[in-house]
Structure 1
Amino acid sequence: MSEQTLFEKYGGFSKISRVVLSFYDTLLDSDDIGPFFDEVDMSRMVDHQTKFVASLLGGPASYTDNQLRQLHSHLAIEDNHFDELKVVLGETLEEHGFADEDVSAVLQEFENRRTLIVD
């Protein structure tokens, strides 16, 4: 039997969707990050981000490096923005009951994509 992915361990898309909603509740209040979402259709953003976070957990959705680069190229995201996103993601995962080692694994997957997202 194959090893269970974090995506499966934590309940699939329905659980990841709740994590993403909490993630954005925090981010939208941020003075540094919130403005990135001023003109964004948040229902579409939550859908895309749910798929992205699911992919970080080994789920079925995925984005290619080129897609990630293109989706973020116009945003002027800097390292300090990425760092804040990473902290908020980690805190949100912890709040939703993710084990410390699983939070670390997800944050490493996120970090692996820094150069695709940061301007």
Structure 2
Amino acid sequence: MMIRSLLCSGTLLMATSWINPAMAEDTLYERLGGAEGISVVVDHFIDEISFDRRIYPFFKDSDIERFRNKFSEQLCAVSDGPCIYSGDDMPTVHTGMNISETDFNRVVELLQKAMADSGIPYTDQNRLLQRLAPLRGEMLHR
């Protein structure tokens, strides 16, 4: 009898999650903490860049406020948030920078550290990196 009751409860819970979106799994955007959480990650990322002797030269002449706004917008968009990325495309931004594999991998490490420092669980860090990964080819060796 108890097993039957548990099965009925489980079926009911699954059915209501299909009907009630609030019970469905959160979006990555929500798991990142929404706009506020993304803002914290981006601020930590900018701090990481500013202290990294290898990566800082790529950003030294950048408009940091524009970078902060556009990167936040991009993270919001790729994580299923309510944003549309309105910045330049990746080839335009990265042409002339001659970013190597080593440089790219270091930036990924800095972003991972920024997410960890922001309290983002590793599973969600990996989900975000997976969504950003297709941009890699648009940034390297340009």
Smaller-chain TM-score range?
Answer: 0.7 to 0.9
SS in 1 for 2:113: helix
Q: 1:52 aligns with which of 47, 66, 74?
A: 74
* Separation (CA, whole Å) in 1 of partners of 2:140 and 2:100: 5
Q: After the TM superposition, which residues 1-119 of structure 1 pair with which residues of structure 2 at under 5 Å, given as runs?
A: 1=21, 3-63=25-85, 67-119=89-141
- TM-score, with length taken from structure 1: 0.86
- TM-score, with length taken from structure 2: 0.73
The 3 A distance-change label for structure 1 pair 10 and 116 is same
* Separation (CA, whole Å) in 1 of partners of 2:133 and 2:108: 8
Instruction: Return the offset for 1:91.
Output: 1.6
Answer with 1 or 2: which has the greater Rg: 2
* Separation (CA, whole Å) in 1 of partners of 2:98 and 2:50: 17
Percent of aligned positions that are identical: 25
Q: Which runs of 5 or more structure 1 residues have no equivalent in the other structure?
A: none
Contact 1:86 1:110 in 2 (8 A): no
Q: Which runs of 5 or more structure 2 residues have no equivalent in the other structure?
A: 1-20
Instruction: Return the offset for 1:63.
Output: 4.4
Superimposed CA distance per residue, residues 15-64 of structure 1 (whole angstroms, 9 cap, x where no aligned partner)? 21111011010111111110111111111111111112223322233449
SS in 2 for 1:112: helix
**RMSD of aligned residue pairs (Cα, Å):** 2.0
Aligned length: 118
